Copies of this chain bind each other. A is one copy, B any other.
C-alpha cells in the first residue's frame, strides 16, 4: 500500500511539471477578473525581459503586469500559473493588466489575444510546458545565489554527438567549472542533471541558472568543482510512420504509463528509454572527451520532477554506476527500495531529496517524504532532506535544490 501511495504522489508532481510548473497548477485554468490593492511600485523584470523592454513588470507584492499594443483586439489576457487575467485597453490601443501575487522565482506565461495564445513579444523565451514561450523571474529574497557576479566563470558548452542507441545525432549542454581550462591535468567528477516533463536540455542552463549557481558556490569555496551534463531525457514513442496531425490538434504529451511498480523495475518508456542512451552513449561520450574521474565514486545523477523519477529508477537499476543521487520534487527512496538494489547501499554516498513547501503542505494521504528520508538515515545512509520555503513545483524550488545538493555532492 505504501508504495502505491508514494507512486501516486510522484505521478501528481510529475503531471504538475508537465502542465504548468506553478503553485496554482493543481486548481486548473480559471479566469480572474478582480484584483484589489495593487501596489504601484512596479519595476521591469530585467533578467527575463528582452533587452531594453520595460514590460512585463513586477511589484513588491510579486504581481506581474504585462502590456501589449493590440489596437483592434476585443480581449487580451495575461495567462500565468494556470490563471488568465483580463487586461484593459487605453485610448491608444495599448492593453495593460496584472496578475495576483506569484511565488518568488521563475514562471512560464503567455498572452491570449482574441483567443490566440502567443508569447509576449517583450519577454525572453524558455522551453517548458512542451513549448518555447515567455517566462518571467519574480525577484526572490535569496536571488543573490544565482546572480551574475564578477567571479571566475565556467563554460556551458553546446555539444552534438551521435547516439548508437537512438541512431541519430543528439544535443546536450556540458558545464565545465572555472578552473577546467587552467588546470589542464586535473580530472573532475561528473553530475548528470535532468530536466522535468515538458522541458528539455535547455531548462537547467537557462531558467535553472545552473552555471551561475555553481560558479558562485565555487567562488565561495562551498562546492567542489565538477562537470555537469545536461541532456534531453524526453523519451518519445517511435512512430510507426510519419504522421501529420490534423490542423489545430495539439501534440500529445508523453506521460508515464500508470502501471504499479514492483520493486524498482523500470517504468516503460520515459525512464528505461533514456537509461539506455545515458548508460550506453552519453556517459562514454563524456568520459572520452572530458577530463572526468570515470568511476562510480565520482559520478552523480540528479533531476527534477520527471527527471527525479528517472534518476531514482536509473540509479537503483545501476548501483555500480552512480554514488550520489538527487531527487528534486520527484519522489523519495525508501529503505525497502534500497534493499532490492544489490550494492546500492554499499556504493551510495548521498541520497538527497527535496520538495517545495507548497508541494507537501497539503499531503494527499501519502507518507511525508521527510519521514522517508529520516528512515533512510536511520537505515544507515547519508540521507538529506530539503524543503524550499514558500515555493511549489517550480524552478525556484529546483534552483534552491541544486544550490543545496551542490554543497553536498562529491564531498564524501
Which positions in A face B, CB cutoff 8 Å?
50, 52-54, 67-76, 90, 92-94, 96, 110-111, 113-121, 124-125, 131-133, 148-150, 153, 155-162, 169, 174, 181-182, 184, 205, 211, 244-245, 247-248, 251, 289-290
Contact = CB atoms under 8 A, between A and B. Distances in A.
A347 to B, nearest CB: 29
B156 A158 contact: yes
Contacts of A119: 118-119, 121, 125
Given A114-B73, A121-B119, A148 B169 contact: yes
A375 B124 CA distance: 46
Given A73-B113, A148-B160, A157-B156, A131 B245 contact: no
Nearest to A149: B169
A45 to B, nearest CB: 14
Given A69-B116, A69-B117, 16 more contacts: A50-B131, A52-B251, A53-B251, A54-B245, A67-B247, A67-B248, A68-B118, A69-B115, A70-B116, A73-B113, A96-B247, A118-B120, A118-B121, A124-B132, A148-B160, A153-B159
Contact of A71 (B115, B121, B157): B115
Contacts of A290: 181
Contact of A70 (B71, B114, B245): B114
Contacts of A93: 115
Copies of this chain, count: 2
Nearest to A134: B119
Contacts of A125: 119, 125, 132
Nearest to A67: B247
Given A181-B290, A247-B96, A68 B116 contact: yes
A153 B160 CA distance: 6
B118 A111 contact: yes
Residue from the set A93, A110, A158, A211 with the largest chain B CB neighbour count within 10 Å:
A158
A244 B46 CA distance: 13
A53 to B, nearest CB: 7
22 contacts: A50-B131, A50-B132, A54-B247, A67-B247, A69-B116, A69-B117, A72-B75, A73-B114, A90-B247, A92-B247, A96-B247, A113-B113, A117-B121, A118-B118, A118-B120, A118-B121, A119-B121, A119-B125, A121-B133, A125-B132, A155-B159, A184-B184
Contacts of A117: 69, 121
A114 B156 contact: no
A211 B113 contact: no
A236 to B, nearest CB: 9
A214 to B, nearest CB: 13
A290 B182 CA distance: 9
Contacts of A161: 153
A248 B94 contact: yes
Nearest to A133: B121
A113 B50 CA distance: 21
A50 B205 CA distance: 19
Contacts of A132: 50, 124-125
A29 to B, nearest CB: 16
